[in-house]
A and B are shown apart, each in its own frame.
Chain A
Amino acid sequence: MADLMQDHLNLDQPGADRVEGRWFGVGSSTDSDGFTAGAQATAAAVADRPDAGLVLVFAREYMDMTALIEGVRAHAGPATKIAGCSTVEPMATSGEPADFSVSVVAFGGDGFGYEIAVGRDVPGNERAAGGEAASGLALLDHPHKVLLLFVDALLDDNVEIVRGAYGTAGAAVPLIGGVASDNWQFERTCQFAGDSNGVEILSGTVVGVAIGSPAPVGLGVAHGWRRSGDPMVVTDSEGLKVFEFDNEPAMDVFLGRMGLDRSVLEGSDSFRLRALECPLGVATRSGDEIRVIQGLDPSDGSVLVSAGIPQGGLAWVMEGDVESLVAGATASCADAVRTLGDATPIGLLTFDCAVRRRELGPVGVHREIAEIGRAFPGIPFGGFYSYGEIARYRGANGMHHLTMVSLAFA
């Protein structure tokens, strides 16, 4: 079977050689048949190494997930743990991301440890679900640990889920991950959790993958957006609603900054997607945090943002172009590698925002992938474009937007 498929394989660079027995591989497939795509990408990521321990699968939302997982299991190895989620577009080391139907990241060799746990029945129970997803950490006694989180996009309170995971993980364990995506429909995303013997294809859950390693892991966060125009002081806000910037109705100020008026709100949905590309940056201690504009409410003149901005906060309308966004991606990976210290990187997990991908366009995405490859030659990377990014290695906050987060393994 493997021989028969060899012709179709799009073999990615297998990455650095084993480091102290550990390895990291990435594969992808452009095939639209579920089984074939899963099998091809997994075979490429595992590359005949007999000791794969964990396989992460990121598949386009339209794929036949059952068949795809069957394909993955066929090549993952006998006792391999399997996790992942659906996405608007997978990421992988080489090739044209626009063509990918699935990407697979495989970990293996001595020294790594893996535990998968699922937080279920999440609505109203976010905190506990986050904690449950992190529960695998307790089963690992490695000197370095990290928790990956894959969260359903239709769950309302991601911040509380991440808080729950942090409560269990604590400051010693970095968190990273992404919110599963679909093709901008916001209708259904799925998460995977299981092993070679069987994988659950889930919805409405948070999947946590605890990874233990003898070597450090490094985490990077960057977005590439820059401030545009004068700062605006939030003079009235409550929860996720900003009512006033500089004592004027927030909606009018925001539209004014974009050169638009209220008439754009009538009718189509296109303004909502356009607003996604004009985020707000909020000046915080750790730099400009991005807030996605989720809507405008003409009835009270407010702007609905992805996370609260307290009264007295300072905000900017942010802008980005292909140059700055690509630079953001490489900066994120560079940060991750830098925080490894002297350890040699063997691979990178990358979770990039789906809005950044829209803004980049196919050419920009091609450049993004090429620039990361150029900056870290021979280091495989893989992941997916998400509806929200999770990364915490300092402080206690872990939810990000319009950002690229990456994790380097050594």
Chain B
Amino acid sequence: MTDQWSASQLTEYFATISGSDEENVVVQLAVERAAEVLDAEIAAVVIDGTVRAAWGLGAGGAGGELLSTLAFARSVELPGVGSMHTFAARLGRGTPDFLVVGRRETALEGAERQTVQAMAQLLSLVLRNVRALTAERTMREHELRLVAELRARQRLLEQLLTIQQAVSARRPLPEVLDAVTAGAAELLNGSSVVLVLAEPGAAHELAVVSGDAGPGDAVLDVARESISTGSHVSHDVPAQRFGLIATPVSVGGTIAGSLVAVIDGGAGGEQVDLLVAFAQQASLALTDARTVAAVRQAHHDPVTGLPNRTLFLERLRDALAERRDDIVLFIDLDRFKAVNDSLGHAAGDELLAAVSRRISERLRPTDTAARIGGDEFAVLLRDASLETAVAAAERLIDSLRQPFRIASRDVLIGASVGVADRCAGADNADDLLSNADVAMYAAKKGGASQVVVFEPRMLTETVAGLDMLADLQRALHQDDLELHYQPLVDLGSLRPIGMEGLMRWTCPRRGLVAPAEFIPLAEESNLIVELGRWALGEGTRQLAQWLPRFPALRLNLNIAPRQLLDRDFVPHVADVLRTEGVPAAALTLELTETAMMKDPDTAAHQMRQLKELGVNLSVDDFGTGYSSLSYLRRFPVDELKIDRSFVGSMNQNPEDLAVVRMVIELGRALRLQTVAEGIEDADQLAVLRRLGCHLGQGYHLARPLPAQAATKHLHAHLNSRLSHTARAA
């Protein structure tokens, strides 16, 4: 009896000591629980000859050393406690480390000694895990530092390489020149590096074409000197604790400008050499671009004629330097990609030009609009308040939502706008533009055609999102994910015919994390593909266990848009089905309408391949997206899942009921199975049965269950059918 008592507590002991990832806590919990389980007064863990944790020795811990040396004796005389029967078990074979337990009244019996052995083994396993984790953590930190240094060096090499490649690939000149100044700045430990060119036809007029001008006049003076002397010049400005180096830059053999570096503390010979090397790169690029005039033009976007990113940032820097209250709008067009993809790039360019006209028309002459890249625009509103900026942004959105006549069609797009001012902690142009970009991203997440003003917490949220992604990545490798299964019920017989696999994540740091929190985040990154692979593997493994007992059972799994578009997806599904020995017909993959419409051609291709495998395809959340008949004909689907939002309110809202009825009838007409999601009460169930919906799921029928409970559920509901059938027979 007593043997059973201590042995039966091993599981709890294991659960307790594995609850921490700190070695000190683990060993302390181990000694406490070991003493309690064995009704012993004393327990200790000795590692490398030192007592790492002891229990029952009191605050002073007297006697610990005795335990570390005499543990393998059968008894120890401890001061103040008296004679103790001891038993020690090694933490793994061949190690000098051990767990020792001391009991005053009676020696440990055979089974109790076995329990101590088992505890020692479990402790060694947990410690090994904890150490591996700690080592991994330390290594990762070390590696991260190394990687950061390497990356910095690598970036420099890449920078040089990029400049060379960019020159030979005839990249836009501003891009090349920015790469020159940024690369030189990085190599010179963050010094400010500026490329100055003489205006065509007015050699004495200099203009900064790339880089942050810093102390403007001093830079231009030293540049002028190096241009006029035709050699490099260096000056220290001790009063302001910086040095200036300028080296000439030529276009086709003629000196046309200067590359200037502002060096903290003072300039040295090595730095001059480096700057000369970069100046040569700039000369190469400029010569290739043939004329300095091309540089001027290259500050504007050829498609829209608007200033480009470089010029915009320059104007923004000026605004900041003059301490003006300017505000930045970051505009991202909604649905531009669809236009570009469906009507072609020429139409896309035409649309961009039209957009830029509409933006410019609604700005004051003092404001600056720029095309930042792709379908992104920025506006610098001069001397504006946040209120007027938000109002201006809303007006811009309204104007961009009006139809555009492109390639003889009316094209509808929209825009999301992020707004940032200098008050929100941005003290340089790049940060300010980046803040507006972050706000635009928040606007986009909030739905189309929104204006959002930047708040510092948005940056925090971005970091928090990255942090959660890292935890999620870890969860994939640490078995913190679990599939739960929600029964799919035949609404005719009310018996389960299948299960939908639903992902659950219990993070050791955050506790249970709701799928609504982590799935959208994973969907923004490629992690969703890995999560999907994991779910497919886990779900089919479970299905393989169920099928011998419940041969008609099917499994539904959700597929994210990225997964569907992943070219390895279909072979992977085939592979998993083959490995687990599961017939393809037992698997149904659920896709959202958005997933199919994101890239309809690829989606249709992938879906046809899945159908060829024999897998069933279901449209999830039907009714919330495009819900058009044409795509139902275009995509080979077998099943429609009526979104829970309609089912939930159909008994209160006649319009929702009409949608539900319509989907069921549509299913009937197209010979597609219909499934109602989110059935929460008997009234809803009754209505759906009356309407002839085939299948249903929801809390009223059964909640999602862990695998073991799901098995019990199947046994309870499918076995009772057998007995029912038998009785009927």
| A residues in contact (CB < 8 Å) with B | 131, 134-135, 137-138, 163, 166-173, 282-286, 308, 310-314, 394-397
List CB contacts (< 8 Å) of B13-58 with chain A: 32, 35-36, 38-43, 55-58
B342 beta carbon closer than 8 Å to chain A: no
**What separation, in Å, do the CA atoms of A231 and B725 have in the docked complex?**
38
The tally of residues in B whose CB lies under 8 Å from a CB in A reads 32
B191 beta carbon closer than 8 Å to chain A: no
Contact of A170 among B1, B8, B38, B59 (CB under 8 A): B59
- Residue of A whose beta carbon sits closest to that of B32: A163
Asked if residues A171 and B59 are in contact (CB atoms below 8 Å), the reply is no
A283-B1, A310-B9, A313-B5 known; A170-B80 Cβ under 8 A: yes
Asked if residues A394 and B41 are in contact (CB atoms below 8 Å), the reply is yes
- Central interface residue in A137, A168, A170, A313, by most chain B CB within 10 Å: A170
- Central interface residue in A283, A308, A395, A397, by most chain B CB within 10 Å: A395
Jot down 23 A-B pairs with beta carbons below 8 A, ordered by A.
A137-B58, A168-B59, A169-B58, A171-B78, A173-B58, A283-B5, A284-B39, A285-B2, A285-B5, A285-B39, A286-B39, A310-B8, A311-B8, A312-B4, A312-B8, A314-B4, A314-B5, A394-B41, A394-B104, A395-B36, A396-B39, A396-B40, A396-B56
Contact of A171 among B1, B5, B7, B56 (CB under 8 A): B56
Contact of A395 among B1, B12, B35, B112 (CB under 8 A): B35
- Residue of B whose beta carbon sits closest to that of A237: B12
Q: Besides the contacts A171-B41, A311-B8, what 9 more A-B pairs have beta carbons closer than 8 Å?
A: A137-B58, A167-B58, A170-B81, A171-B42, A172-B80, A308-B12, A313-B4, A394-B105, A396-B41
Measured between C-beta atoms, what is the minimum distance from A219 to chain B in Å?
Answer: 13
Contacts of A311 in B (CB 8 A): 8, 11
Asked if residues B5 and A396 are in contact (CB atoms below 8 Å), the reply is no
Asked if residues A172 and B6 are in contact (CB atoms below 8 Å), the reply is no
Measured between C-beta atoms, what is the minimum distance from A104 to chain B in Å?
Answer: 31
A312-B4, A394-B105, A396-B32 known; A138-B59 Cβ under 8 A: yes
Asked if residues B40 and A395 are in contact (CB atoms below 8 Å), the reply is yes
Asked if residues B57 and A395 are in contact (CB atoms below 8 Å), the reply is no
List CB contacts (< 8 Å) of B97-120 with chain A: 103-105, 112
**What separation, in Å, do the CA atoms of A166 and B32 have in the docked complex?**
10
**What separation, in Å, do the CA atoms of A200 and B12 have in the docked complex?**
40
Contacts of A138 in B (CB 8 A): 59-60
Asked if residues A314 and B1 are in contact (CB atoms below 8 Å), the reply is yes
Asked if residues A168 and B58 are in contact (CB atoms below 8 Å), the reply is yes
Measured between C-beta atoms, what is the minimum distance from B274 to chain A in Å?
Answer: 58
Contacts of B39 in A (CB 8 A): 284-286, 394-397
Asked if residues A172 and B36 are in contact (CB atoms below 8 Å), the reply is no
**What separation, in Å, do the CA atoms of A312 and B7 have in the docked complex?**
9
List CB contacts (< 8 Å) of B297-336 with chain A: none
Contacts of B81 in A (CB 8 A): 170-172
Measured between C-beta atoms, what is the minimum distance from A155 to chain B in Å?
Answer: 19
Measured between C-beta atoms, what is the minimum distance from B40 to chain A in Å?
Answer: 6
Contacts of A131 in B (CB 8 A): 59
Contacts of B8 in A (CB 8 A): 310-313
Contacts of A396 in B (CB 8 A): 32, 35-36, 39-41, 43, 55-56
Contacts of A314 in B (CB 8 A): 1, 4-5
Asked if residues A397 and B105 are in contact (CB atoms below 8 Å), the reply is no
Q: Which 5 A-B pairs have the closest CB atoms?
A: A170-B58, A312-B8, A171-B41, A172-B80, A395-B39
Asked if residues B55 and A172 are in contact (CB atoms below 8 Å), the reply is no
Contacts of B80 in A (CB 8 A): 170, 172
- Residue of B whose beta carbon sits closest to that of A396: B35
**What separation, in Å, do the CA atoms of A303 and B35 have in the docked complex?**
27
**What separation, in Å, do the CA atoms of A284 and B80 have in the docked complex?**
27
Asked if residues A310 and B105 are in contact (CB atoms below 8 Å), the reply is no
Contacts of A134 in B (CB 8 A): 59
Contacts of A171 in B (CB 8 A): 41-42, 56-58, 78, 81, 104
Asked if residues A397 and B36 are in contact (CB atoms below 8 Å), the reply is yes
**What separation, in Å, do the CA atoms of A40 and B268 have in the docked complex?**
94
Contacts of B40 in A (CB 8 A): 395-396
A396-B35, A396-B36, A396-B56 known; A310-B12 Cβ under 8 A: yes
- Residue of B whose beta carbon sits closest to that of A289: B5
- Central interface residue in B1, B35, B56, by most chain A CB within 10 Å: B56
**What separation, in Å, do the CA atoms of A138 and B5 have in the docked complex?**
35
Contacts of A308 in B (CB 8 A): 12
Measured between C-beta atoms, what is the minimum distance from A302 to chain B in Å?
Answer: 14
Asked if residues A166 and B59 are in contact (CB atoms below 8 Å), the reply is no
**What separation, in Å, do the CA atoms of A311 and B38 have in the docked complex?**
17
Measured between C-beta atoms, what is the minimum distance from A31 to chain B in Å?
Answer: 42
Contacts of B42 in A (CB 8 A): 171
- Central interface residue in A134, A135, A173, A310, by most chain B CB within 10 Å: A310
- Residue of B whose beta carbon sits closest to that of A308: B12
Contacts of A285 in B (CB 8 A): 2, 5-6, 38-39, 112
Contacts of B78 in A (CB 8 A): 171
Measured between C-beta atoms, what is the minimum distance from A129 to chain B in Å?
Answer: 15
Contacts of A283 in B (CB 8 A): 1-2, 4-5
**What separation, in Å, do the CA atoms of A128 and B9 have in the docked complex?**
25
Asked if residues B9 and A172 are in contact (CB atoms below 8 Å), the reply is no
